Amino acid sequence: MSKNKSEYLINRHDNQYEVVIGLEVHAQVTSESKLFSTSATKFGAEPNTQVSLVDAAFPGMLPVINEYCVKQAIKTGIGLKAKINKRSVFDRKNYFYADLPQGYQISQFKDPIVGEGKVILDMPDGQKEVGIERLHLEQDAGKSIHDLDPKNTFVDLNRSGVALMEIVSKPDLRSPDEVNAYIKKLRSIMRYLGTCDGNMQEGSLRADVNVSVRKKGAKEFGTRCEIKNVNSIKFMQMAIEYEANRQVDLIEDGQTIDQETRLFDTKKNETRSMRSKEDAHDYRYFPDPDLLPLEISDDFIENLKSEIPELPDEKKKRFIEKFKLSTYEANILVSDIETSNYFENVIKKSDVKLATNWIIGELFAALNEKNLEITESPISAGNLSKLINLIKDGTISGKIAKTVFEQMMEGDKDPKKIVEEKGLKQESDPKALEALIDKVIDDNRDKATEYKSGKVKLFGFFVGQVMKVSGGKANPQLVNEILKKKL
Amino acid sequence: MSDITKQSLSELVKNIKGKKLSSSEVTKAFVERSEKSKELNAYITEDYANALNKAKKFDEKPNLDLKLPGIPMAVKDLFCTRDLRTTAGSKILNNFVPTYESTVTQNIWNEGAILMGKLNCDEFAMGSSNETSFFGNVQNPIDKNLVPGGSSGGSSSAVAAQLTPITIGTDTGGSIRQPASFTGTVGLKPTYGSCSRYGIVAFASSLDQAGPMAQNVKDCALLQEVISSYDEKDSTSIDFKRNEYSKELTKDIKGKKIGIPKEYRVDGMPKEIEDLWKKGIEFAKDCGAEIIDISLPHTNYALPTYYIVAPAEASSNLARYDGVKYGFRAEGENLIDMYEKTRSEGFGAEVQRRIMIGTYVLSSGYYDAYYLKAQKVRKLIKNDFDDAYKKVDAILTPSTPSSAFKIGEKTNDPVSMYLNDIFTVPVNLAGLPGISIPAGHDTKGYPLGLQIIGKAFDEQNILNIAYAMEEKINFKNNITDWWIK
Amino acid sequence: MSIDLKTIKHISKLSRISVDEKKAEKLAGDLNSIFDFIEKLNELKTDNVEPLTSVAETTLKLRSDEVKSKNLRDQVIKNSPKENEDYFVVPKVIE
Ligand SMILES: [Mg+2]
Ligand SMILES: [Zn+2]
């Protein structure tokens, strides 16, 4: 494998292969109740306690659609700069599985609620646009549990009927790194919008990964394989790497690739063909006769547009233009809605440059060390802002600020109080400093003489002594000035 | 009071409201007659003890403002009833006890009626003779070994034999009107969206409608008034202004324009049917209606369209019967084996046949040729009616192409069985209301029905026409109680 | 047209209904006569006809996002053929 610039290619003998990736992301819609039923969607409930008669497909039960889920899908579509379809249709996707109580999944096939859109990725060598093919609403299935009993599989239907947005990308991705950036960007957009919490551990974001390979420069796509239901970015990357190499090996071996559905085995780090694929390709889609076409008005869409917050791309642009941040800084600060909110709260009342440095530097490092999210930060935006102001107005030095910051990390304390209680206030009274400096010079007569005779390097020694004697509180700038005069 | 079971619903309501009869007396009378009528096999599940209890409770604190005060009734076993077994006529639901109530039956109980039991029907409502029921065929009270029609065959038999004063059925392609016609009773299939489908075991979602079955038009109107409601739990329920059909019922149909579609003169139609139709036209004229010849050019394509659309929807609607959540399960070596055995042993032959047809017409490579094609023809059929209703207020046709036939006569020939619904199916495809009223007898003395088809949401109009014609026709059902020893 | 035994086997697989040879032959016969009858639709030209899915001439009504269905585990599990208080149980599935 070679990496020319940031191009991801697979080398075999004299051939170079390009990897073509498309993703079908399943994002759980943030909502209180399910897409077609009124049961709860909370994560982690006791098995089968959030299952209505509709979810368990009892005879005569009928679906009734949740307006909020429709709004969430449209908002997401707006966030993806996509076309919103004023008329969409729900179809049944028919197949049998233990965790699919109806024997079909209600999904959207021919007429999805959202059409083509795009996502911009910031890659190390510039921006990359990834096309969105469509976004549609569908029901999640239940969960099969295979390891509770040697002979039986247990089924929990709590997830059954939860609203998902399936976001289908065009086959525009070319490397595991791009997939990483794409998922993160999608997640970021949806979290800004509040349409999906993006929690991958809880399964709120999963993807089917379509992988094919072709010789570099080829126009035609190769035969693709779909790796089902991968639930972490790391696994997606590993699966792609494995799968792409498997396909290249087959081609190099003169074999053909079967278009098929595969599973990623996280223990063995390999993909393998799914056993139950037999008739997986005949879903017999047809419009669900229990549901009429979904028609939405321009007003409905316009109202939702007015609720859309500033999204990461726009926010980044504003940060760079208004606050003169570097692209690097802006990217970091907008990547997550919580971080950008924190940043904007800090700079409401304090210096932008200092705030940027303190957040990206000290704060991130400290949070990282404690394994905390920004929302769990022991230091509130308000108190960080106060700390920055204490530095800015000379009350404390940058060095002292770090001490104060460390104390703040132990619990959200007002930095002013810490400074007062511990007496950390910077000494900026010239008279007091003069007295201090006089004493230091007095105690180091010989060194002072050396300095005067030309050993200017000793200036640093005097500064250090003064700081030491002052317990680090002396205003360094004033110390410099006064020392120069006195020496 | 003797002969309680001979009274119509309206008479019973009047007598209970006038305190001439108690609910207990009425319920006891129908329960006793039902018990003596086991040979008809009209019931799948009897709930007599509960019914008598409820009647007693009603009498202790009677609410006489209700529309069906203390009236006992049995319902088709396709309606889910809380705590009472609901089978849909199938082995696969043999042991299924719902914890919920269908909206239509709830509406009935809300008006004071009392459930006596669940009536036999073709399995999942798929049949025209009640012979596909897992619980055996039903006898038509008209004659021994005669089918009562289907799929609401238990319902038609029970009303005709006066085991229940009224009942409800469901109609996907004629399942209320054809059995009504076969038993000399009145059956209404309402406009699609008039009665909620919530809690009714689904056959074909875009066609299924619940409707009333009764001995006369007035009873039918009253029951329709009770069961029809807008229901937020059914996304295809329609919020339109519903009449008080029984109160607004009138025999004055002077000047109403009634269309006679020439395409309903099908090849090989028995002369008796032709004559009945002619007689019906005369009656309509006598009532002051204006008769207008019309054309419904795609009539002949309705049945083939229906036999694509209905099985397609059914194949998907019946996928939930997989042995996992409820109902019958056959043990299997693995999940797929369990599914295949459960469904093969749990469903009867006709249901399996229709699931296969439905699966086939939706399967890849055939969807456009069959399912999509059928949806397009369905549109043409609906357009036919839309055009016709620019000229007429209602349409008059025979209900069925023949009178009731013998049990076993058509079981080996599915297509000839399907032809029973040739006059009723177009109405479902177009979502219109249609009523069948008894209009005469054939040479064997078996009843024959006429169908009046209305505009969407115009139930009142066809009920009025039926009400007026009923008086002129003056039909008498000759039932000898041959099954009571 | 003719529906052969292979097709019957295929659709029985899709339908999850097992068929043996005898049943397959009977089904093939029935389905062929039914499809002969259905083929009548081919007489019609429908190129420019809009397909009709539902006769209900209204649009989908939207419900508010409220949790109304509470914990129904007992009710939901009650009817299931395999005894278990918490789960639905099926023969072991191996992916
Ligand atoms: Mg997929
Ligand atoms: Zn999906």
Domain ranges within chain A, ordered by starting residue:
9-304, 310-421, 430-486
Q: Is the per-residue pLDDT at A462 higher than 90?
A: no
Q: Is the per-residue pLDDT at A226 higher than 80?
A: yes
- Dihedral angle sign, alpha carbons of residues C24, C28, C29, C31: positive
For residue A284, the distance in angstroms to the closest alpha carbon of chain B comes to: 5
Cis check for the bond before A276: say yes or no (omega within 30 of 0).
no
Arch. (CATH architecture) of A430-486: Orthogonal Bundle (1.10)
| Set of chain B residues whose Cβ sits within 8 Å of the Cβ of C20 | none
Give the per-residue pLDDT at C85.
86
Beta-carbon neighbour count of residue B231 at 10 Å? 24
Length of chain A, in residues: 487
- In SS3 terms, B53-114 reads as HHHHHHHHCCCCCCCCCCCEEEEECCECECCECCCCCCHHHCCCCCCCCCHHHHHHHHCCCE
Q: Is the per-residue pLDDT at A471 higher than 80?
A: no
**Closest to B397 in 3D by CA, of B307, B239, B266:** B266
Q: Is C61 on the interface with B (CB under 8 A)?
A: yes
H or E, element range at B212: strand B209-214
Amino acid at residue number A277: K
**Closest to A162 in 3D by CA, of A68, A303, A281:** A68
Give the per-residue pLDDT at A1.
40
Task: Write out chain B's pLDDT in tens, 485 residues.
Answer: 459 999 999 999 999 999 999 999 999 999 999 999 999 999 999 999 999 999 999 999 999 999 999 999 999 999 999 999 999 999 999 999 999 999 999 999 999 999 999 999 999 999 999 999 999 999 999 999 999 999 999 999 999 999 999 999 999 999 999 999 999 999 999 999 999 999 999 999 999 999 999 999 999 999 999 999 999 999 999 999 999 999 999 999 999 999 999 999 988 888 999 999 999 999 999 999 999 999 999 999 999 999 999 999 999 999 999 999 999 999 999 999 999 999 999 999 999 999 999 999 999 999 999 999 999 999 999 999 999 999 999 999 999 999 999 999 998 888 888 988 999 999 999 999 999 999 999 999 999 999 999 999 999 999 999 999 999 999 999 899 999 98
Give the per-residue pLDDT at A280.
54
Q: Is the per-residue pLDDT at A424 higher than 80?
A: no
Q: Is the per-residue pLDDT at A277 higher than 60?
A: no
pLDDT tens per residue across span A114-146: 999 999 999 988 899 999 999 999 999 999 999
Which ligand is the nearest neighbour of the Cα of A136? 2
C-beta atoms of B198 and A284 within 8 A? no
Rounded to the nearest angstrom, the distance between the alpha carbon of A114 and the centre of ligand 1 is 17
The SS3 call for residue B287 is coil
Give the per-residue pLDDT at C95.
61
pLDDT tens per residue across span A278-297: 555 799 999 999 999 999 99
Q: Report the C-alpha dihedral over residues A394, A400, A404, A407, rounded to 10 degrees.
A: 180
The SS3 call for residue A318 is helix
Q: Where are the domains of chain B?
A: 10-263+273-296+384-473, 299-383
Give the per-residue pLDDT at A276.
55
Cβ atoms B10, B16 nearer than 8 A: no
User: Is B325 a residue of the active site?
Assistant: no
Give the per-residue pLDDT at B68.
98
The SS3 call for residue A419 is helix
C-beta atoms of B235 and A281 within 8 A? no
Q: Report the C-alpha dihedral over residues A443, A446, A447, A452, rounded to 10 degrees.
A: 120
Give the per-residue pLDDT at A5.
59
C-beta atoms of B96 and A59 within 8 A? yes
| CA–CA dist B244, B224 (Å, integer) | 9
User: Six-digit token pair at A272?
Assistant: 């393998």
Band (A4; pLDDT cuts 50, 70, 90): very low
Residues 6+ apart with CB under 8 A from A414: A383, A386
Burial A86-112 (b: 16+ CB within 10 A, else e): eebbbbbbbbbbbbbbbbbbbbbbebb
Q: Is the per-residue pLDDT at A454 higher than 90?
A: no
Q: Which of B334, B352, B374 sits opposite C17 (nearest CB)?
A: B352
Neighbours of chain C (3+ CB pairs under 8 A): A, B
Q: Which of C54, C79, C93 sits opposite B97 (nearest CB)?
A: C79
Cβ atoms A309, A79 nearer than 8 A: no
User: Is B129 a residue of the active site?
Assistant: no
- Main-chain dihedrals φ then ψ at residue B160, nearest 5 degrees: -60, -40
Rounded to the nearest angstrom, the distance between the alpha carbon of A82 and the centre of ligand 1 is 20
H or E, element range at A23: strand A15-28
Residues A148-153 have a mean pLDDT of: 92
Amino acid at residue number B396: L
Cα–Cα distances in angstroms (integers) from residue A159 to residues A47, A51, A142, A386, C86, in the given order: 10, 8, 5, 45, 15
* Domain B10-263+273-296+384-473: CATH superfamily, name plus number: Amidase signature (AS) domain (3.90.1300.10)
Give the per-residue pLDDT at C1.
58
Rounded to the nearest angstrom, the distance between the alpha carbon of A211 and the centre of ligand 1 is 12
Residues 6+ apart with CB under 8 A from A116: A82, A83, A131, A132, A133, A134
Return the higher-pLDDT residue of A431 and A351: A351
Residues A44-64 have a mean pLDDT of: 97
How many whole angstroms from its chain centre is CA C71? 29
Give the per-residue pLDDT at A468.
83
| CA–CA dist A365, A404 (Å, integer) | 15
Q: Is B95 on the interface with A (CB under 8 A)?
A: no
Residue B371: DSSP 8-state: I
Rounded to the nearest angstrom, the distance between the alpha carbon of A386 and the centre of ligand 1 is 50
Rounded to the nearest angstrom, the distance between the alpha carbon of A299 and the centre of ligand 2 is 29
Give the per-residue pLDDT at B2.
55
| CA–CA dist B200, B80 (Å, integer) | 6
For residue C55, the distance in angstroms to the closest alpha carbon of chain A comes to: 10
C-beta atoms of A60 and B199 within 8 A? yes
| Set of chain B residues whose Cβ sits within 8 Å of the Cβ of A279 | none
Catalytic residue among B24, B90, B155, B175: B175
User: Is B151 a residue of the active site?
Assistant: yes
| CA–CA dist A364, A373 (Å, integer) | 9
Return the higher-pLDDT residue of A398 and B194: B194
pLDDT tens per residue across span B359-417: 999 999 999 999 999 999 999 999 999 999 999 999 999 999 999 999 999 988 888 88
Quick check: pTM over 0.90? Answer: yes
pLDDT tens per residue across span A153-201: 999 999 999 999 999 999 999 999 999 999 999 999 999 999 999 999 9
> Most B CBs within 10 Å: which of C2, C9, C11, as the mutation test of the B interface?
C11
Amino acid at residue number C46: T
Cβ atoms B396, B450 nearer than 8 A: yes
**Mean predicted lDDT score pLDDT of chain A:** 92
| CA–CA dist C32, B304 (Å, integer) | 13
